[in-house]
A and B are shown apart, each in its own frame.
Chain A
Amino acid sequence: MVCESWKAKLDTYLDGELAEEEMRAFDAHVRSCLSCAADALARVQMKRTIQVAGKQFTPSAEFRRRMQQRIATKPRRNPRLRWMLAVAAAAILVVGALTSTYLGTTRSRRDQVYSELADLHVATLASSSPVDVVSSDRHTVKPWFQGKIPFTFDLPELKNSEFSLLGGRLAYLGQTPGAHLVYGIRKHEISVFIFQERSQPSGLGEQPAMTKALSFNMETWSQGGLRYFAIGDASTADIDNLAGLFKTTSL
């Protein structure tokens, strides 16, 4: 009967969860009480059996591998910082993609314009009648364009230069009409194209004024809402001089 109170605490004792003093008292009691000692032994064995029986399930090797891959070395980090890094990375990607797309399209349009102009230049020179208005007089050539193109322009005075005006014709670029003037310097011919700026792809002016397109030298500039292109096989200096004449005329 005395043992009843001990036995009620037997499990807690065997779990090692009694207060220290009680534990010691229990130890002493078990040593002297055969009945409690026998019960304690039986319960310890029960505990052991449960422990063994409880370790019944093991994860498959495949599952373990999967989990290991999932959580492989993720260092402890500030989540906000991690989030910010992710956002920054995403932003960089987006901006990068947009920029490269933008640059890509701009560049490809620009290249397209250059190559079309080069074609026009070559086709004109190859033609048996390169120009529609054959005149070296700018006062003849300029009025010829009247009513043919939706803008007007000034032609430079060539008196004190080596350049000579050979004539002009209509040109189309990107479905808009413009003026195509042909100049001669020594044995070379230079085409000057004039179009409305707004009808041309943007980004044309965002490169060195002088470029080499398809082995022709080309210079482009914008003035008074018009986009000018000078292209030819003459030297860059000659083309630059001609461009300079145009630029000063229109001022």
Chain B
Amino acid sequence: MSGAGPQSDSFEELAMPLFDQLYNFAHWLTRNREEAEDLVQETYAKALKGFSSFQLGTNFRAWMYRILRNTFLTSRTGLKATMNLPLDTEDSRPALAVDRDTPETILIERSDRQLVQSAIDELPVNFREVLLLCEVEEMSYQEIAETLSIPIGTVMSRLSRARQMLRDYLGLREKGMNHGL
């Protein structure tokens, strides 16, 4: 890909295709339709204003997500959500091992979308966002690191913690109905 894209690239052409996903992400962050709309609107306004400083040919999607997320972090809801977040720790338990619990199996059986939705919703925001960027937006670790302005190592550790939390949550829910540990 060449460094400089065609000069005729308009902001609209680049930004509108991301509208649905940005909105979805915003809604996951704010947990509220109105706030999500405000967040997306502000994101687009900021992006439009700063579009001239955006380097064509670099990752526009990561750039947009970064604006959205930074805007969220400085909002009231964002500030509240980021209080008392679990610290990033080097994963002390690489016991991501699947053997002790298998909520995945439960999911296969029940295919309970709503259950997963509420599980995602329960995650602290820094884990929620990393999981969504990876699984829903299918961003690479590099892209996620760029979007969240964190090192790749942190992306990986947050991601694995997010997954573990999700598994714990789902496993807890199913306890009693299923085989325990």
Which residues of A come within 8 Å of B, CB atoms?
Answer: 4, 7-8, 10-12, 15, 17, 35, 39, 42-43, 45-47, 49-60, 63-64, 66-68, 70-79
CA distance A52 to B141 in the complex (A): 20
Complexed CA–CA distance, A154 and B96 (Å): 114
Q: Could you list 19 A-B pairs, sorted by A, with CB under 8 Å? A: A7-B97, A11-B159, A15-B134, A15-B141, A39-B98, A42-B98, A42-B105, A43-B98, A54-B120, A54-B136, A56-B117, A57-B28, A66-B41, A67-B19, A71-B11, A71-B48, A72-B12, A75-B10, A76-B7
Q: Chain B: interface secondary structure?
A: helix
B interface with A by C-beta (< 8 Å): 7-12, 15-16, 19-20, 23-24, 27-28, 33, 36-37, 40-41, 44-45, 48, 51-52, 94, 96-99, 102-105, 107-108, 111, 113-114, 116-117, 120, 131-132, 134-136, 138, 140-141, 156, 159-160, 163, 166
- Nearest chain B CB to A4 CB, angstrom units: 6
B24 touches which of A39, A56, A70, A75 (Cβ 8 Å): A56
- B12 A74 Cβ-Cβ under 8 A: yes
> How far is B131's CA from A79's CA once the two chains are assembled, in angstroms?
36
Would you list the 8 A-B pairs with minimal beta carbon distance, nearest first? A42-B104, A54-B136, A57-B27, A53-B116, A59-B23, A39-B98, A8-B94, A50-B135
Residues in A with CB closer than 8 Å to B15 are: 71
